[in-house]
């Protein structure tokens, strides 16, 4: 009998979940039965599947502990539950930095900790971003001018009221011109890349907010993404191949050097709609390898 895979989603995934539409057919082509299932549906039979693959479970930020408890209860989950626990809190960036990965400079403000000029001292005159450590997409993220400390403090207070640790980062101005570059790895191997337009207040004439297009990344971006993959595997004592999928989001510093903005190994959109036609089949092959 063919192995059975469940692709975990949420009850009301956003329109961008359509990006995964080719996956069921691609898996069928390599002899794997696949169905979609809502992660918090007790009748879905996750314990009977040969493999459960986290995909568009995008309602988890409001129910993170429930989601992580469910993840830990699934016998065969990709990516593994400990990886999901680590990756659904963006404080993991500090751990990547400790492993030598060039990440966007990141400060952490715990609930009750105010935003002062000291937190911004290393980035004089720069715009900055505040974002919650737990959140999907750009939800809760906001961009501020250097003279908007009062408005930023209000936003910080709102996030702290939700119990969030808040990340403070210098805004990388290159994003307005070339967006973020997302490099996708399947089974630990580079598959494809796409550019995402800036999500925070794109100005007229800049790359459109949320716009996406396929791209061939240069050597600097490739190396930075490979470094992030190696570090993520090392943190968890895994081989890179043990990560069924990953998306490394990169931006450029003012001097053009690549910086890791995020490493998504829980439920990222993998950009199949902005990749070559064989990309879903590469995903299917990675699933077959994981089943072994």
* Nearest-angstrom CA–CA distance, 77 and 242: 11
| 3-class secondary structure, 116 | coil
3-state SS assignment for residue 212: strand
| Known catalytic residue at 213 | yes
Annotation marks residue 127 as catalytic: no
Q: Are 245 and 283 in contact (CB under 8 A)?
A: yes
What residues are paired with 263 via a beta bridge? 248
Among candidate residues 55, 143, 212, 247, the one labeled active-site is 247
User: How far apart (Å, rounded) are the C-alpha atoms in residues 51 and 67?
Assistant: 17
Q: Which of 48, 139, 173, 213 is catalytic?
A: 213
Q: Please confirm, yes or no, whether 95 is among the known catalytic residues.
A: no
Selecting among 102, 180, 262, 264, the annotated active-site residue is: 264
Q: Which residues of 69-100 are buried (b: 16+ CB within 10 A; e: fewer)?
A: ebbeebebbbbbbbbbbbbbebebbeebbeee
DSSP 123-178: STT--EEEEESS-STTTT-EEE-TT-HHHHHHHHHHHHHTT--EEEEE--THHHHH
As a whole number of angstroms, the distance between CA 144 and CA 141 comes to 10
Which amino acids are annotated catalytic?
Answer: 213, 247, 264
């Amino acid at each position: 009998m063919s192995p059975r895979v469940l692709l975990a989603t949420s009850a009301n995934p956003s329109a961008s979940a359509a990006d995964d539409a080719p996956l069921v057919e691609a898996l069928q082509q390599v002899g794997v039965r696949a169905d979609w299932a809502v992660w918090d549906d007790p009748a879905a039979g996750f314990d009977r599947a040969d493999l459960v693959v986290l995909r568009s479970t995008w309602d988890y930020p409001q129910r993170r502990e429930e989601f992580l408890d469910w993840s830990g209860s699934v016998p065969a989950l990709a990516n593994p539950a400990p990886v999901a626990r680590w990756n659904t809190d963006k404080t993991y960036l500090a751990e990547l930095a400790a492993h030598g990965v060039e990440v966007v400079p990141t400060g952490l403000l715990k609930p009750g900790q105010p935003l002062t000029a000291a937190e911004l001292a290393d980035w004089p005159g720069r715009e900055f971003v505040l974002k919650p450590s737990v959140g999907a997409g750009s939800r809760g993220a906001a961009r501020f001018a250097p003279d908007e400390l009062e408005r930023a403090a209000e936003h910080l207070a709102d996030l702290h009221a939700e119990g969030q640790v808040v990340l403070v980062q210098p805004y990388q101005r290159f994003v307005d011109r070339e967006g973020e570059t997302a490099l996708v790895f399947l089974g630990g191997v580079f598959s494809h890349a796409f550019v995402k337009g800036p999500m925070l207040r794109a100005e007229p004439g800049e790359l459109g907010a949320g716009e996406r297009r396929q791209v061939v990344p240069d050597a600097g971006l490739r190396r930075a993404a490979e470094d992030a993959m190696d570090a993520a595997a090392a943190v968890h004592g895994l081989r890179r191949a043990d990560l069924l999928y990953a998306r490394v989001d990169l931006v450029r510093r003012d001097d053009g050097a690549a910086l890791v903005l995020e490493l998504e190994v829980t439920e990222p959109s993998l950009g199949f709609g902005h990749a070559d036609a064989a990309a879903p089949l590469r995903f299917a092959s990675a699933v077959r390898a994981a089943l072994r």
